[in-house]
Every structure is written in C-alpha cells, then in structure tokens.
Amino acid sequence: MYTASDLRKGLKIVIDNEPYIIIDFQFSKPGKGQALYRCKLRNMITGVIVDKTYRSIDTFQPADLEERKMQFLYKQDDQYCFMDMETYEQVFLNEDQVGDAKNFLTDNLEVEVLFFEGKPIGINLPNFVDLKVIKSDPWVKGDSVSSNTKPVTLETGYIIRVPTFIEEGEKIRVDTRTGEYVTRIKE
Amino acid sequence: MSPGLRNRNVIKKKKDVLVLRAKILDLIRLFFKEREFIEVETPFILPYIIPEAYIDPIKTEVGYLHTSPELCMKMLLGLGCNNIFQICKCFRKGERSKIHLPEFTMLEWYHVGIDYNKLMEECELLIRNICYKLFNKEKINYQGNEVDLATPWNRISLTNAFEKYANISLYEAVDKGIFEEILVYKVEPKLGFKQPVFVKDYPASMAALAKLQDHNPNIAERFELYICGLEIANGYTELTDMAEMKKRWETENQKRTQMGKCVYPFPNGYKINIPDCSGVALGIDRLIMLFSDKDRIDSVVSMLSEDI
C-alpha cells in the first residue's frame, strides 16, 4: 500500500481496478494547510490521461504489473498471438490492446508484453524495427512541394514518408516511438 | 562526471546567489539590531511539538526536530525577553516541491506591545529596506513581473480574496472540504504580482495560535504575506490565554487522530506567561528566490542533503 507521500513521477497505482502511471506530479502545501498531491495519470490500458488531486490521508494499491519478453507469432482476425520463448505459453491481444504497435509488428519480432494482475494488457516494442518496403510508386522530382520525401508502403501495411532514393524491396529502420523513418538498411 | 565534481560545478554556478543570500541575512540582522531586538537561538531537538494537524515533524532517537521555533521563543517571551528574533533551520517531514524543502530557513520574530496591523507594517519595512539596500530602488523583477515594494502594501481579507479570485465563497469552500484546492489553484496564483499583499483575518478554525478579534470571535487576527504568488510569511497577534492555547493544541491532535495520524505531546503542565505581542515567521529561502529572481528553492540554498 502506498500513501500520498509516496506519490511521484513514474509510480504505478490502481484506480478503479485499472493500472495508471503517474506522468506528472506536483506537491503543494499552504504553510498551515493540508498538503495537496496533484497528479497527471495515464491509464496503462486505454492510454486515457486524467488529472487527480490527492491528500495525505489517501492510500493507493501498487499496480501488479509484469513485463515478459515474448515473440509475435501471427495474427488471426483481430487477435494477435505472442509466445513466451522459454515456457512456450501463448497469449492473445486484440487490436485495441496492440494499438499503433500493429504498424511495426512482423513475425518473430521480440517484444515486451505487459501483464496486469496476470492478464496481458499491451505491448512495448523495441525503439527501432527494420521493415521492408513493399510498394513504392516511381517518383518524379518536383511532383510535390515536399519533394525530398515520398510515401511508401511497408510490409505491415503502414504508410511512411521516406527519402526519395528508397526503392521497393529495400529495408528501412523505423523509430517506433515517433513512427518516423531513421535510415536505410543495407543487406 | 563524478557526483562530487557535479556538485562543485553546481556550487560554482550558485556563487552569486550565495553572496546575495549572505548579504540579505546580514541586512535582516542589521534591521532588527537597529531596533534593539535580541537575536536568540533555541534548541532544534525538542521533547514536545506544538501539534498542528497538517505539519509533520521528523522524529529522532532523542526527540523531535522542531518545525518552527515558535514554542521556545514564546517560552523566552514568558521569561521577560521582549523583542526577539531568530534565523534558523526548521524541519518538516515530506514537504518537497519547487518551493518546499524538508529542511528550510526561517526568520521568526516577536514584537511586544503591537498587534498584527503594526506587525504587517514591520514586514513591509523589513523587505523594502532589504531591497533598497541591495539595489538602491524599491522595485524587484521576479520572473518577468515588476513588483513595487513602496509602502503601504495592499491588505485583503481572506473572505474578500476568495470572493475576488475564486468562484466559490470561503465558507462554502471550507464546508465542502476544498479550501486548500481553491486557495492553492485559484487564489494564490493571483496574489501579490504588482505589489505584495497581506491576506488577513482567517476564520477561527484556521487561527493556529492567533488571538481572536475582540469584537468578532469568529475571526482570527492572522495574516499571510504573498509576493508573486509565493507565500512568504505568516503572522498573528499572539494568543496569550494559556488555557485556550492548550484547547487548540488538543483540537489539532484530535484532527490528527481523525486522519489516522499520530498525535504529538505538547507541554501540558507548562505555563507560559506570554505578554501581549505579535509574531511572524518568514521563509528566508523564498525571500531570496524573490530577490535573486529564481523560480526554484533549490537554486537559493548552498546544497541539498538529497544531492550529497
């Protein structure tokens, strides 16, 4: 059990049976008055951000969270299957739970699956993934005002802007946090 | 970079502020000595603590670290020391923010024979004098605000401050249990930007150890000084009735019990003959933030125990 004085940036607590992480924290206290603990919290399942103000008598349950390294196996309908490479245990996440990460998931990619009270709730990708360009229209200089980049389609179906020298069949490195092109991979 | 070296570099950057800090401390002492106040020192480690619902002391093997020198200075007043001041460290558990340190420097003084109105004037004089002696002018620039320290400063009752700056009355806020939220998020951010302001006349339930007004016992003769939204000082016409004082200490301890917090022993058998006087506690670190235009308390102290 945490008390309000334990609250700080990065702490993970349970509110209404869901895990939240404190992303911003501010302590205020009038000299003789009660302390206020103002928190900005992100729901770790839905991503929704909420503001809450607590007082010193408030208490909190720590969120029972675990991260396990797992490999992405396959997608069937809207279910994404991941497997623990040591125990061979398989878990499924739906499209909402995978979120934008679906744009960067390729077979056998190693990711961290986040479990809350033993149930999988989401995944963390590596910061960088290498993906193949499967579709790139021929590019004519001066076609557009932003003529130094062009859109291409990656093997996951994700459309991304890349420098005009990238061609179909090449591999590129993408930053999964921003969804942006980083560099060309020479094989 | 090693932590030691990092600290040395931080201290180097701080040198100007530390020089200013030392000057301000000198000027404070000069101000009081010119007025024939005695500078006193009282113990930091005490067997008793003035119980306050929302202030937690740090307990050591040999007693409590004082949260303010109020109790001991009042004992000195009772012994016949009249006008006294003290500059000392105070300790409050768990208080840490941009403007809080669990170990901070307080200036506390007591002036016999005056009420809180006269004491507010003394605060004005002290801070204006420091400013004038430092910068040869009566204005400071704090975080882009020009604050005019020419006296007299504004005074506003707490009731009127709520009326003016919040969309809820003081009494409604207290009733709903959201007094601190409204004060901290709505009222304080508006206080004392063009000119410092004294917020005064607190409800009797927030009297601390202030005397209640003779003609209106619902109001305590207590004030807080705000400059640029910062709470700088808290003062009052002192309560001298020992029986009433003990009642208030018991009330504070009862509030602590209700919140599930521990109660604190106070000097129950001790009789203090406090003369008619007024007293005020002023946060030195925050005052130095104002004069050095720093927005973090960390920037105005030589070092933090958390960094050593």
pLDDT digits (tens, 9 = 90+) for A122-168: 999 999 999 999 998 776 666 555 568 899 999 999 999 999 899 99
Instruction: Supply the pLDDT for residue A18.
Output: 94
How many of the other CB atoms lie within 10 Å of CB of B11? Answer: 12
pLDDT digits (tens, 9 = 90+) for B49-93: 999 999 999 999 999 999 999 999 999 999 999 999 999 999 999
- Quick one: which H or E segment has residue B164? helix B158-165
The H-assigned helical ranges of B185-241 are none
The residue type at B91: F
Calpha distance B13→A116 (Å, rounded): 46
Using the Cβ of A91 and the Cβ atoms of chain B, whether some distance falls under 8 Å is answered with: no
Give chain B's domain count: 1
Q: Does the beta-carbon distance from B184 to A28 stay under 8 Å?
A: yes
Sorting pLDDT into bands at 50, 70 and 90, what band is B279? very high
Determine if residue B46 is left, alpha or beta; phi over 0 gives left, psi from -120 to 50 gives alpha, anything else beta.
beta
- Match 């008055």 to its residue by tokens: A33
Instruction: Supply the pLDDT for residue A148.
Output: 81
CA angle, B82 then B109 then B122, to 5°: 100
Q: Does the beta-carbon distance from B180 to A57 stay under 8 Å?
A: no
Determine if residue B225 is left, alpha or beta; phi over 0 gives left, psi from -120 to 50 gives alpha, anything else beta.
beta
Minimum distance, in Å, between the CA of residue B136 and any CA atom of chain A: 31
Mutate to test the interface with A, among B181, B256, B282 (most CBs of A within 10 A): B181
Instruction: Supply the pLDDT for residue B59.
Output: 95
How many of the other CB atoms lie within 10 Å of CB of B138? Answer: 14
Query: Of the candidates A27, A30, A57, which has its C-beta nearest B180's C-beta?
Result: A30
Minimum distance, in Å, between the CA of residue B81 and any CA atom of chain A: 27
How many of the other CB atoms lie within 10 Å of CB of B72? Answer: 20
CA dist B154 to B121, B124, B128, B227, Å? 11, 10, 14, 11
Sorting pLDDT into bands at 50, 70 and 90, what band is B6? low
Mutate to test the interface with B, among A32, A36, A58, A59 (most CBs of B within 10 A): A32
Sorting pLDDT into bands at 50, 70 and 90, what band is B5? low
The set of residues, in sequence order, having a beta carbon less than 8 Å from that of A165 and lying 6+ positions away, is A184
pLDDT beneath 50, residues of chain A: none
pLDDT score of B282 more than 80: yes
pLDDT digits (tens, 9 = 90+) for B106-137: 999 999 999 999 999 999 999 999 999 999 99
Residue in chain A closest to B99 (alpha carbons) equals: A28
What does pTM read for this prediction? 0.84
Q: Does the beta-carbon distance from B180 to A27 stay under 8 Å?
A: no
How many of the other CB atoms lie within 10 Å of CB of B193? Answer: 18
B→A interface, C-beta within 8 Å: 52-55, 94-97, 100, 179-181, 183-185, 188, 206, 208, 224, 231, 234, 259-261, 281
Q: Mean pLDDT across chain B, nearest whole number?
A: 94
Residue in chain A closest to B224 (alpha carbons) equals: A31
The H-assigned helical ranges of chain A are 95-98
pLDDT digits (tens, 9 = 90+) for B137-165: 999 999 999 999 999 999 999 999 999 99
pLDDT score of B217 more than 60: yes
Instruction: Supply the pLDDT for residue B229.
Output: 97
Give the ipTM of the model, two decimals please.
0.89
Calpha distance B198→B181 (Å, rounded): 20
Q: Maximum Cα–Cα distance for chain A, whole Å?
A: 70
Q: What is the CATH number of the domain that holds B157?
A: 3.30.930.10
The H-assigned helical ranges of A5-137 are 95-98
Residue-range definition of the domain harbouring residue B279? 3-307
